[in-house]
Amino acid sequence: MVAQENAYNPAMLIRYRLATALIWVGVLAWVPFIILRVAGQKPSLYLFLPFHLLGVIGGPRLRAMARKEMGAAPPQKSKLYAIGQILVLGAILVWMPYFYLTLIAKAPVEVSQFLPFHLTGLLSGLGLLLVDFLRQRQKS
Protein backbone atom coordinates (compact mmCIF):
# COMPACT_ATOMS: atom_id res chain seq x y z
CA MET A 1 0.00 0.00 0.00
CA VAL A 2 1.29 3.45 0.93
CA ALA A 3 4.70 3.87 2.51
CA GLN A 4 4.25 4.83 6.13
CA GLU A 5 6.49 7.93 6.11
CA ASN A 6 4.76 9.40 3.04
CA ALA A 7 1.22 8.44 4.00
CA TYR A 8 0.78 11.42 6.27
CA ASN A 9 2.29 14.04 3.99
CA PRO A 10 -0.62 16.50 3.67
CA ALA A 11 0.43 17.85 0.26
CA MET A 12 0.43 14.39 -1.30
CA LEU A 13 -2.88 13.43 0.29
CA ILE A 14 -4.42 16.69 -0.90
CA ARG A 15 -3.22 16.00 -4.45
CA TYR A 16 -4.67 12.48 -4.30
CA ARG A 17 -8.02 13.77 -3.00
CA LEU A 18 -8.01 16.57 -5.57
CA ALA A 19 -7.55 13.99 -8.30
CA THR A 20 -10.51 12.01 -6.99
CA ALA A 21 -12.60 15.20 -6.88
CA LEU A 22 -11.53 15.99 -10.44
CA ILE A 23 -12.76 12.58 -11.58
CA TRP A 24 -16.13 13.24 -9.96
CA VAL A 25 -16.33 16.69 -11.56
CA GLY A 26 -15.70 15.02 -14.92
CA VAL A 27 -18.43 12.46 -14.36
CA LEU A 28 -20.92 14.93 -12.90
CA ALA A 29 -20.31 17.45 -15.68
CA TRP A 30 -23.18 15.76 -17.50
CA VAL A 31 -25.76 16.46 -14.79
CA PRO A 32 -26.56 20.00 -16.04
CA PHE A 33 -26.58 18.69 -19.62
CA ILE A 34 -29.11 15.99 -18.70
CA ILE A 35 -31.25 18.46 -16.75
CA LEU A 36 -31.33 20.84 -19.71
CA ARG A 37 -32.22 18.00 -22.09
CA VAL A 38 -35.05 16.85 -19.82
CA ALA A 39 -36.29 20.45 -19.65
CA GLY A 40 -36.57 20.49 -23.45
CA GLN A 41 -33.46 22.51 -24.24
CA LYS A 42 -30.87 21.44 -26.79
CA PRO A 43 -27.53 22.34 -25.17
CA SER A 44 -24.38 21.81 -27.19
CA LEU A 45 -22.48 18.67 -26.37
CA TYR A 46 -19.25 20.57 -26.90
CA LEU A 47 -19.91 22.89 -23.93
CA PHE A 48 -19.82 19.97 -21.48
CA LEU A 49 -17.35 17.63 -23.17
CA PRO A 50 -14.17 19.57 -22.22
CA PHE A 51 -15.08 19.49 -18.52
CA HIS A 52 -15.90 15.79 -18.74
CA LEU A 53 -12.65 14.93 -20.51
CA LEU A 54 -10.55 17.12 -18.23
CA GLY A 55 -11.95 15.32 -15.20
CA VAL A 56 -11.98 11.73 -16.40
CA ILE A 57 -8.60 11.90 -18.13
CA GLY A 58 -6.75 14.39 -15.93
CA GLY A 59 -8.03 12.99 -12.62
CA PRO A 60 -6.66 9.46 -13.01
CA ARG A 61 -3.33 10.79 -14.31
CA LEU A 62 -3.02 13.12 -11.32
CA ARG A 63 -4.03 10.33 -8.96
CA ALA A 64 -1.44 7.96 -10.48
CA MET A 65 1.26 10.59 -10.00
CA ALA A 66 0.17 11.14 -6.39
CA ARG A 67 0.20 7.38 -5.72
CA LYS A 68 3.72 7.19 -7.11
CA GLU A 69 4.90 10.11 -4.96
CA MET A 70 3.31 8.55 -1.86
CA GLY A 71 5.22 5.34 -2.52
CA ALA A 72 2.10 3.26 -3.11
CA ALA A 73 2.63 -0.04 -4.85
CA PRO A 74 1.33 -0.18 -8.42
CA PRO A 75 -1.91 -2.13 -8.77
CA GLN A 76 -1.59 -5.84 -9.47
CA LYS A 77 -2.61 -6.69 -13.02
CA SER A 78 -4.83 -9.73 -13.34
CA LYS A 79 -6.99 -11.08 -16.17
CA LEU A 80 -10.01 -9.42 -14.60
CA TYR A 81 -8.15 -6.10 -14.57
CA ALA A 82 -7.18 -6.52 -18.24
CA ILE A 83 -10.76 -7.33 -19.28
CA GLY A 84 -12.02 -4.29 -17.34
CA GLN A 85 -9.47 -2.04 -19.05
CA ILE A 86 -10.43 -3.42 -22.48
CA LEU A 87 -14.12 -2.76 -21.79
CA VAL A 88 -13.37 0.82 -20.70
CA LEU A 89 -11.23 1.39 -23.79
CA GLY A 90 -13.98 -0.04 -26.01
CA ALA A 91 -16.50 2.26 -24.32
CA ILE A 92 -14.32 5.23 -25.18
CA LEU A 93 -13.76 4.09 -28.76
CA VAL A 94 -17.54 3.98 -29.30
CA TRP A 95 -17.34 7.72 -29.84
CA MET A 96 -15.02 7.51 -32.85
CA PRO A 97 -17.82 6.73 -35.32
CA TYR A 98 -19.99 9.41 -33.73
CA PHE A 99 -17.38 12.12 -34.21
CA TYR A 100 -16.60 10.88 -37.71
CA LEU A 101 -20.26 11.00 -38.68
CA THR A 102 -20.90 14.43 -37.14
CA LEU A 103 -17.66 16.25 -37.96
CA ILE A 104 -16.47 14.73 -41.23
CA ALA A 105 -19.50 13.13 -42.89
CA LYS A 106 -21.87 15.84 -41.58
CA ALA A 107 -24.54 13.21 -41.02
CA PRO A 108 -27.45 13.93 -38.67
CA VAL A 109 -26.63 11.64 -35.74
CA GLU A 110 -27.99 11.73 -32.20
CA VAL A 111 -25.86 11.22 -29.11
CA SER A 112 -28.51 8.83 -27.82
CA GLN A 113 -27.55 6.32 -30.53
CA PHE A 114 -24.06 5.90 -29.04
CA LEU A 115 -24.52 6.68 -25.36
CA PRO A 116 -25.98 3.28 -24.33
CA PHE A 117 -22.95 1.47 -25.78
CA HIS A 118 -20.59 3.89 -24.04
CA LEU A 119 -22.29 3.56 -20.68
CA THR A 120 -22.67 -0.23 -20.93
CA GLY A 121 -18.99 -0.76 -21.69
CA LEU A 122 -17.86 1.81 -19.17
CA LEU A 123 -20.01 0.63 -16.28
CA SER A 124 -19.29 -3.05 -16.87
CA GLY A 125 -15.55 -2.34 -17.21
CA LEU A 126 -15.51 -0.25 -14.04
CA GLY A 127 -17.50 -2.97 -12.29
CA LEU A 128 -14.86 -5.55 -13.21
CA LEU A 129 -12.10 -3.19 -12.06
CA LEU A 130 -13.91 -2.75 -8.75
CA VAL A 131 -14.31 -6.51 -8.30
CA ASP A 132 -10.60 -6.96 -9.06
CA PHE A 133 -9.70 -4.19 -6.60
CA LEU A 134 -11.81 -5.79 -3.86
CA ARG A 135 -10.28 -9.21 -4.55
CA GLN A 136 -6.75 -7.78 -4.36
CA ARG A 137 -7.60 -5.94 -1.15
CA GLN A 138 -9.07 -9.08 0.40
CA LYS A 139 -5.89 -11.04 -0.41
CA SER A 140 -3.64 -8.54 1.36
Q: What confidence tens digit (pLDDT) does each residue in 7-54 have?
A: 567 777 888 889 999 999 999 999 999 999 999 998 988 899 999 999
Tens of pLDDT, residues 66-110? 888 888 777 778 999 999 999 999 999 999 999 999 999 999 998
The full length of the chain comes to: 140
pLDDT for res 3: 47
64 and 84 in a single domain? The answer is: no
1 plus 70 within the same structural domain: yes
Using CA atoms, how far residue 10 sits from 7, 22, 41, 58, 59, in Å, is: 8, 18, 44, 21, 18
Q: What range defines the domain where residue 123 resides?
A: 76-140
- Has residue 5 got a pLDDT over 70? no
Within this chain, do residues 44 and 91 fall inside the same structural domain, yes or no?
A: no
* Band of residue 1 on the pLDDT scale cut at 50, 70, 90: very low
Q: How far apart (Å, rounded) are the C-alpha atoms in residues 97 and 94?
A: 7
Question: What pLDDT shows up at residue 8?
Answer: 60
In the prediction, which pLDDT does 52 show? 93
Structural domain count, the chain? 2
